[in-house]
Chain A
């Protein structure tokens, strides 16, 4: 029993699909944020896996470095997104961005 690159890539793809489902199917702004975070996390897993197993990476730490950038960018996106959700709620008294508050 081994754990190679394929296992991590499959998990990454599945996590991306879950995130895309949350973004497309759920209407709440909080769920949009969470779905976006899952897609970021899927990218980070793929970067780390490619770095760990060395397929195409030019150095060992290239993948984790990119994953670190992805994680911190996701934090920035989440911070701004949370502020926008609060503004949305103040304006419309709802967490659903595609409704006009009625």
Chain B
């Protein structure tokens, strides 16, 4: 029987991942994640930066698929990546404006993006074909509800979840209030500089 006030004991350490395809996949995802993150931080074009950012968040979701419960992968991929990419593109449209893509649909940018997407997709297909790894995860994640992870969230972290709901609700409310707030342009910007000041008589 545990003593009153005794600290909970940590669980035993899990061994490192040794399955060769999975290890290779993890290394590849980590390298691509860092490269896209660095690209996002360095590149001057904001649209490219946002694209790299969304890619790195999708790669992070893939990383979570390998070492975390399926729910975290789903949240990261569906909610975080979609919302963050959409929000940042929306910010650009509201501010500096996004230019329409050129009339030729298959210019160099589209071809490069398609090639990168095809390479990543074929790599994923290769891993799926060579191992049984994501199928097994999907079966455990979707078919065995309620998942232990969800049970832990509901049982152990109920207060945290409630706090999170309040936090997200207040963030949404704050965002709506900020965007609905009437705004006034600065005085110096309302009128052209030429027409201001007392009128002088022509000499």
Q: Decide if B34 touches A11 in the complex (CB within 8 Å).
A: yes
Q: Decide if A54 touches B41 in the complex (CB within 8 Å).
A: no
Q: Decide if A67 touches B16 in the complex (CB within 8 Å).
A: no
Q: Which of A62-77 contact B (CB under 8 A)?
A: 62-65, 67-69, 71-77
Residue A71 contacts which of B10, B80, B167 (CB distance < 8 angstroms)? Answer: B80
> How does the 8 Å CB contact mask read for A2-33 relative to B, with 1 for contact and 0 for none?
11110110010011001101100110101101
Q: Which of B78-106 contact A (CB under 8 A)?
A: 79-80, 83-84, 87-88, 90-92, 94-96
Selecting from B46-54, B111-119, B194-202, the interface stretch reads: B46-54
Q: Decide if B88 touches A33 in the complex (CB within 8 Å).
A: yes
> How does the 8 Å CB contact mask read for B153-173 relative to A, with 1 for contact and 0 for none?
100110010001001100110
* Residues on the B chain within 8 Å of A61, using CB: 69, 148-149, 152-153, 156
**Minimum distance in angstroms from A26 CB to a CB of chain B:** 7
* Residues on the B chain within 8 Å of A35, using CB: 41
**Minimum distance in angstroms from A11 CB to a CB of chain B:** 5
Q: Decide if A76 touches B91 in the complex (CB within 8 Å).
A: no
Q: Decide if A67 touches B68 in the complex (CB within 8 Å).
A: yes
Give the interface centre of B20, B95, B157 by most chain A CB atoms within 10 Å: B95
**Minimum distance in angstroms from A61 CB to a CB of chain B:** 4
Secondary structure at the A interface, as helix, strand, loop or mixed, is: helix
B interface bracket (residues with beta carbon within 8 Å of A): 35 or more
* Residues on the A chain within 8 Å of B67, using CB: 8, 48-49, 52
Q: Decide if B30 touches A30 in the complex (CB within 8 Å).
A: no
**Minimum distance in angstroms from A102 CB to a CB of chain B:** 9
Q: Decide if A75 touches B186 in the complex (CB within 8 Å).
A: no
Q: Decide if B49 touches A64 in the complex (CB within 8 Å).
A: no
* Residues on the A chain within 8 Å of B38, using CB: 18
**Minimum distance in angstroms from A15 CB to a CB of chain B:** 6
20 further A-B contacts with Cβ under 8 Å, apart from A7-B26, A52-B14, A87-B183, are: A1-B18, A3-B23, A5-B16, A15-B34, A34-B53, A37-B84, A61-B69, A61-B156, A64-B71, A75-B83, A77-B171, A78-B87, A78-B88, A79-B172, A83-B178, A83-B179, A86-B178, A93-B189, A95-B95, A95-B96
Interface residues of A (CB under 8 A from B): 1-5, 7-8, 11, 14-15, 18-19, 21-22, 25-26, 28, 30-31, 33-35, 37-38, 41, 44-45, 48-49, 51-65, 67-69, 71-80, 82-87, 89-93, 95, 101
For this complex, 10 residue pairs linking A to B, each with C-beta atoms less than 8 Å apart, are: A3-B22, A3-B23, A3-B26, A30-B46, A51-B68, A64-B69, A67-B68, A68-B71, A73-B167, A83-B178
